[in-house]
């Protein structure tokens, strides 16, 4: 183990951390070796130790893969290095599990526990995409360059290992076009509790362009604690963060103590909508597209944006006057509040029907899942599967309850016409007509 850890470090001294196996499968984690205060660096990994596109391009396969996506270049480099017993990156490769714990590698029996879930659909979509990409590479790259990619190094399972390894070990800000694998830093474990974060810093002085990835403590750490970070944390102020299912899909991790279940609702403006062009124009004016996805969470009410989108989708009949050019710049603002009783009823009924239909698509109920969790070993794939499907169902159940409650209060809501009359001073705050008093007082 000591020789392996030395090679993983690639010459990087560990002053505040130790590396230890975290599971029986040999997964590694970073453990604090001396108390560290919030805001202090736990480890800094210079860019010279990262596995980047530049490393790939300077290798013997660089010219072969330079036109591919950044993540794919690094995945293919892993395959190439894995086939060489004396590879420079062998120590790092030895630290990577032979099979990532992501659902892409789950057995059919394990995946059956996800029946009816959005996660299962995502896993199937991932697999279809990667299988198609592998077939494309087999025809256009592997077959023509057997020396660089020997047959035993690029079987489908090997390819899936490489792409899953890249996806499960990258985090912001070293993702997307700037994707990089960072030895040691990528051993930070997942937890929803505030623990640490990745951040880039200049290394080597004020005038140096060299960078280092710093794992910074976001709380005080005591000796012996495992370093963690939230894989699903929001990246920007507008980012809502990832759900458990999304973190599990990409990283194979789930914090069962602090679950963050949810459901992703995808909506689209029907192309046969009589008012399609007008509605599409309103959406475009407000930075929205004809298709949108909204994240539902069990402990949060549906967002104003979702309700606005639903009202616009269901706008018809007498309410269609709001689509006229006269109202174009203000139309979206009107969608963020109830338009009419008929429109609001259509919104609620569509959501209630959708939630009920989705709940019927699962093989188990919420009560079934709660009972199953009691007899499930912590940290297992079975527990993760149950937590994800339970989170989806609890979210759908809470969303259904929200719209059922709103449906029962339809008659008490204030709609567009009432709001307009109040702005004109023709209705008081209690909904009474101020116009009637005009005659009572004998002014006319």
Positions marked active-site: 231
Interatomic CA distance for residues 205 and 69, integer angstroms: 32
CB 282 within 8 A of CB 323: yes
| Strands 28-32 and 189-190, sheet pairing | unpaired
CB 329 within 8 A of CB 285: yes
Interatomic CA distance for residues 287 and 356, integer angstroms: 31
Q: Which residues contact 224 (CB under 8 A, 6 or more apart)?
A: 31, 32
Q: What is the DSSP string of 116-160?
A: T-HHHHHHHHHHHHHHHHHHHHIIIIITT-TTTS-GGG-SHHHHH
Q: What is the DSSP string of 326-389?
A: GGTTTHHHHHTS---HHHHHHHHHHHHHHHHHHHHTSSS-HHHHHHHHHTS-TTSHHHHHHHHH
Q: Which residues contact 362 (CB under 8 A, 6 or more apart)?
A: 115, 116, 117, 389, 392, 393
HSE (side-chain half, CA atoms, 13 Å) at 82: 24
Helix 304-314, helix 276-285: angle, nearest 10: 160
CB 395 within 8 A of CB 261: yes
Interatomic CA distance for residues 427 and 421, integer angstroms: 6
CB 249 within 8 A of CB 123: yes
Interatomic CA distance for residues 156 and 163, integer angstroms: 11
Interatomic CA distance for residues 166 and 78, integer angstroms: 9
∠ CA 164-229-294 to the nearest 5 degrees?
Answer: 70
């Amino acid at each position: 183990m000591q020789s392996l850890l030395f090679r993983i470090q690639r010459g990087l001294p560990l002053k505040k951390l130790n590396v230890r196996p975290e599971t029986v499968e040999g997964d590694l984690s970073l453990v604090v070796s001396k108390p560290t205060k919030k805001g202090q660096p736990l480890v800094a990994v210079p860019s010279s130790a990262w596995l980047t596109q530049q490393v790939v391009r300077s290798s013997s396969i660089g010219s072969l893969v330079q036109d591919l996506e950044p993540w794919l270049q690094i995945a293919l480099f892993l395959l190439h290095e894995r086939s060489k017993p004396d590879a420079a990156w062998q120590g790092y490769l030895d630290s990577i599990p032979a099979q990532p714990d992501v659902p892409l590698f789950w057995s059919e029996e394990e995946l059956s526990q996800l029946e009816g879930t959005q996660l299962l659909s995502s896993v199937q979509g991932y697999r279809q995409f990667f299988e198609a990409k592998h077939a494309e590479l087999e025809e256009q790259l592997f077959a023509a360059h057997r020396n660089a990619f020997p047959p035993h190094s690029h079987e489908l399972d090997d390819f899936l290992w490489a792409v899953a390894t890249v996806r499960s070990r990258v985090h912001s800000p070293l993702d997307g076009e700037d994707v990089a694998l960072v030895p040691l830093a990528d051993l930070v474990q997942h937890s929803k509790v505030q623990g640490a974060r990745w951040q880039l810093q200049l290394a080597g002085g004020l005038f140096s362009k060299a960078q280092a990835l710093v794992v910074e403590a976001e709380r005080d750490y005591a000796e012996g604690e495992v370093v963690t970070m939230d894989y699903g944390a929001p990246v920007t102020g507008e980012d809502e963060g990832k759900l458990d299912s999304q973190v599990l899909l990409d990283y194979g991790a789930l914090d069962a103590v602090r679950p963050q279940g949810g459901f992703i609702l995808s909506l689209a403006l029907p192309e046969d909508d009589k008012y399609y062009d007008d509605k599409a124009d309103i959406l475009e004016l407000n930075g929205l597209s004809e298709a949108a996805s909204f994240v539902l969470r069990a402990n949060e009410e549906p967002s104003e944006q979702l309700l606005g989108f639903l009202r616009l989708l269901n706008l018809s009949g007498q309410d269609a006057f709001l689509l006229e050019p006269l109202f174009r710049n203000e139309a979206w603002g009107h969608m963020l509040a109830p338009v009419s009783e008929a429109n609001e009823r259509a919104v609620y009924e569509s959501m209630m029907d959708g939630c009920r239909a989705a709940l019927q698509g699962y093989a188990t109920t919420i009560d079934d899942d709660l009972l199953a969790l009691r007899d499930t070993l912590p940290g297992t794939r079975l527990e993760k599967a149950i937590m994800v499907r339970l989170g989806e169902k609890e979210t759908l159940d809470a969303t259904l309850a929200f719209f059922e409650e709103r449906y029962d209060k339809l008659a008490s809501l204030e709609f567009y016409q009432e709001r307009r009359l109040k702005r004109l001073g023709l209705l008081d705050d209690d909904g009474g007509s101020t116009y009637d008093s005009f005659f009572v007082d004998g002014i006319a």
